[in-house]
Amino acid sequence: MKKNVLIIGANSKIAYELSKILALNNYNLFLLSKNYLELKKKINYLKNISKSKIEFYKFDITHSFSFNEILKKFSKAEILILASGFLDVKNRNNIKTTEINYTGPKNFIEKLLITNNNFEEIICFTSVSGDRVDANYNEYSNSKKRLSEFILKNKSRFKKKNIYLKDLKLGYVNTNMTNHIFLQNIVCSPPQKVARYIYNNIALKNNNVIYYPKIWIQILKIYNFVKRIQLMFKYF
């Protein structure tokens, strides 16, 4: 019997592509987004390709007063995908960036811990930029870094409740958030490939931190090595 999946931030390109794969594989879907009308258009397609149960609901990850209602309404969900994300390329809205990328997801996860539920697995979308704070998008990088640190710090608490907490650190993906990147279609990963990778990692118990694409593991090793060398020369 296929499981029930709750996706928060279901309007994002990655989350929608993941929803297609899950629907085709007979997972039941509970899709949440603050852009209810946009999500409603996508639901019709998902229902046409699958006989699974598919529900959608308006929800804003920054509205903590509604967390209890959501957790109660979708209490049968066993898998949670936290796909909410926001990037302001001009760095004009730091409060919104922090609330969507860090405060909201963190508070929702903490509320989940003290609520009766059936969750077995949580996958949080973070970013490789959290591993190498980007001066151009400082608040975005910092918010993703803080969420990754929160996940690392609390994974043992979740393990005690038999909930597997995963940190999905994404590189550049061809979504609305990367429209400003030169040669976007070449530099950025297609959301369809990212979604397939996420699907293949569902239910795997061997990794808490997931990088996509994997080349970022090597890139970050080189980046950190260069930073250490720079720091050494700073004192000479």
- Name the pairing type of β-strands 4-8 and 28-33: parallel
Report pLDDT for 139.
87
The pLDDT, as a whole number, for residue 34 is 92
Task: List CB contacts of 221: < 8 A, sequence separation 6 or more.
Answer: none
Rounded Cα–Cα distance for residues 62 and 206 (Å): 31
- Ranges of the chain whose pLDDT falls below 50: none
Encoding tokens for residue 119? 């969750």
Nearest Cα to Cα of residue 24 among 202, 166, 199: 199
| pLDDT at residue 22 in the model | 97
pTM: 0.90
The model's pLDDT over 134-187, given as tens digits with 9 standing for 90+, comes to 656 688 889 999 999 999 999 889 988 899 999 999 988 887 766 676 667 667
- Quickly name the fold that domain 4-234 has: Rossmann fold (3.40.50)
Measured CA to CA, the distance from residue 190 to residue 200 in angstroms comes to: 16
Name the amino acid, one letter, at 145.
K
Residue 79 to residue 122: CA distance in whole angstroms? 6
- What whole-number distance in Å separates Cα of residue 67 and Cα of residue 49? 30
Residue 136: what pLDDT? Answer: 61
Which pLDDT score is estimated for 40? 85
